[in-house]
Amino acid sequence: MDWHRIRSDFPVLDQQVHGHPLVYLDSAASSQKPRAVINTLSHYYERDNANVHRALHELSNRATEAFEAARKKVARFVGAASEDEIIFTRGTTEGINLVANTWGAQNLKAGDVILYTGMEHHSNLVPWQLLAQRTGATLKHIPVLDDGTLDPASIDTLLNEQVKLFAFVHISNSLGTINPAKELCARAKAVGAVTLLDGAQSVGHLPIDVQDLGCDFLVFSGHKMCAPTGIGGLYGRMELLERMLPWHGGGEMIAEVRLDGSTYKQPPHRFEAGTPDIAGVIGLGAAIDYLEAVGMENIHRHDANLSHYAVQQMREVPDIRILGPQSGPRGSLVAFHFDWAHPHDLVEFANSHGIAMRGGHHCTMPLMKRFKVPGTTRASFYFYNTIDEINRLVEVLHAARKFFT
Ligand code: C6P
């Protein structure tokens, strides 16, 4: 693979920041966009812009065709059985809230258990907490071990017949842990629990096949996989989707509206009230075309090489504690802690050297508490990053340690 040529597809990466070439190591927060996606958005607004599913004129037909073609692409990309199992959302957060407010509100009652894990992003905690308050369901979580993996003994005891929903993250945004999603979904299924997989950090980083994984719901964000912000997806198994009532009411989600009540369209349209983010959806389709052209296996391998190399090199920096798995596979990010500076000070220092990283709790406060750290600094990678950039990061970490101590 010619990764340098691929990198040149991302115009934003070709710039200086504070007199240094930009090193963008914050893709777990949001990825950069290739020219193919940017051009698709321009083309859409310059040539095809119109509302979808509503009119019969040429522009509306073109917009509707591109919009529904993107749904097919997403379905293929995540291995769904049908494009009708794909609902467009604003992102992972909205997808989880949709499931909590539809499937959750309809199916959970007092005494039922919602199981999640100690490494969830706030978006996979708070919606369930709100739902538990409304329904009287009980919240339980699988603790995280020191090495950043889920405690197998707790899985044995907690994943039982009382669990109605098991919601867990595929790749932790704060540890890099890759959870054994297929095995966990099978175990949940064996006790009759529905599964929701948070794919925010995995979709677009490794090949995903929901049918092989066996999850009931998968949520993800387009902006973390080369697509625009404000667009994402929810995959739901049709058997569940067709029994779920709508969450938002409005135009386009209805079959018939009377003054005394309404009937609703079949999924997915039942869950897409109002004018959607048309350009975002078409941009997501373009991002998928782009990722598939690079090859998901290639992307996964390159990501894995980068994070493996980064862990090895960062271990050489004195007084740094890397969170998450110390060996074996990890997602394309490395989060670390040190006592010699606040994460925000290090992020500022790195920024003055042209390096973009994130510092803080990464929307995983319970995990920070678990590891007894106020926050961490996180370098996250994507296939446009290079080994040279990791070398620059490590140089700057050495310099920062000297500067702050
Ligand atoms: N994590 C990060 O810097 P949204 O904001 O809806 O696109 O994604 C939410 C979300 C859910 N789950 C996981 C595992 C995530 O990593 C994220 C987003 C970003 O780590 C922003 S906090």
How confident is the model over 210-224, as pLDDT tens digits? 999 999 999 999 999
Q: Closest by alpha carbon to 247, among 23, 36, 27, 95?
A: 95
Sign of the alpha-carbon dihedral angle for 203, 163, 118, 229: positive
Q: Is 35 helix (H, G, I), strand (E, B) or coil?
A: helix
Q: Of the residues 25, 92, 116, 179, which should be mutated to test ligand 1's pocket, given the most ligand atoms within 8 Å of the CB?
A: 92
Res 54: pLDDT: 83
Extents of the domains making up the chain = 3-25+295-404, 38-292
The rounded distance, in Å, linking the Cα atoms of 236 and 248 is 17
Q: Of the residues 284, 363, 376, 380, which should be mutated to test ligand 1's pocket, given the most ligand atoms within 8 Å of the CB?
A: 363
**Quick count: other Cβ atoms within 10 Å of Cβ 165?**
25
Within 8 A by CB and 6+ apart from 302, the residues are 1, 3, 383
Angle at 225 between CA 327 and CA 82, to 5 degrees: 105
Q: Does domain 3-25+295-404 have CATH number 3.40.50.720?
A: no
Instruction: Kindly report each contact of residues 35-38 with a partner whose C-beta sits within 8 Å and lies 24 or more positions away, as own/partner.
Output: 35/9, 35/10, 35/11, 36/9, 36/286, 36/289, 36/290, 37/226, 37/227, 37/228, 37/283, 37/286, 37/287, 37/290, 38/11
Task: Name the residue with tokens 């509302």.
Answer: 51
- Give residue-wise pLDDT tens across range 17-74: 999 999 999 999 999 999 999 999 999 999 999 999 988 899 999 999 999 999 999 9
Distance 221 CA to ligand 1 centre (A): 8
Residues 65 and 55: beta-carbon distance below 8 Å: no
Relative to the CA of 90, which ligand 1 atom is closest? 6
CB of residue 221 inside a 6 A radius of ligand 1: yes
215 is catalytic: no
The rounded distance, in Å, linking the Cα atoms of 186 and 192 is 10
Q: Closest by alpha carbon to 144, among 154, 129, 135?
A: 154
Relative to the CA of 198, which ligand 1 atom is closest? 12
**Quick count: other Cβ atoms within 10 Å of Cβ 250?**
11
Q: Of the residues 173, 203, 380, 382, which should be mutated to test ligand 1's pocket, given the most ligand atoms within 8 Å of the CB?
A: 173
Distance 201 CA to ligand 1 centre (A): 8
Res 44: pLDDT: 98
Rg (CA), the chain: 22
Distance 44 CA to ligand 1 centre (A): 27
What is the residue with the minimal CA distance to atom 19 of ligand 1?
Answer: 29
Relative to the CA of 91, which ligand 1 atom is closest? 6
What is the residue with the minimal CA distance to atom 15 of ligand 1?
Answer: 200
Architecture of domain 38-292: 3-Layer(aba) Sandwich (3.40)
**What residues are paired with 234 via a beta bridge?**
87, 219
The pTM for the full model equals 0.98
Residues 156 and 185: beta-carbon distance below 8 Å: no
The rounded distance, in Å, linking the Cα atoms of 232 and 89 is 5
What is the residue with the minimal CA distance to atom 5 of ligand 1?
Answer: 93
**What residues are paired with 168 via a beta bridge?**
197
Task: Kindly give the parts of the chain with pLDDT less than 70.
Answer: none
Res 83: pLDDT: 98
**What residues are paired with 17 via a beta bridge?**
20
Amino acid occupying residue 353: H
The rounded distance, in Å, linking the Cα atoms of 352 and 361 is 22
Task: Name the residue with tokens 């291995």.
Answer: 79
The rounded distance, in Å, linking the Cα atoms of 52 and 65 is 8
DSSP state of 150: B
Res 339: pLDDT: 87
Cα dist. 272→53, 81, 151, 400 in Å? 12, 20, 38, 48
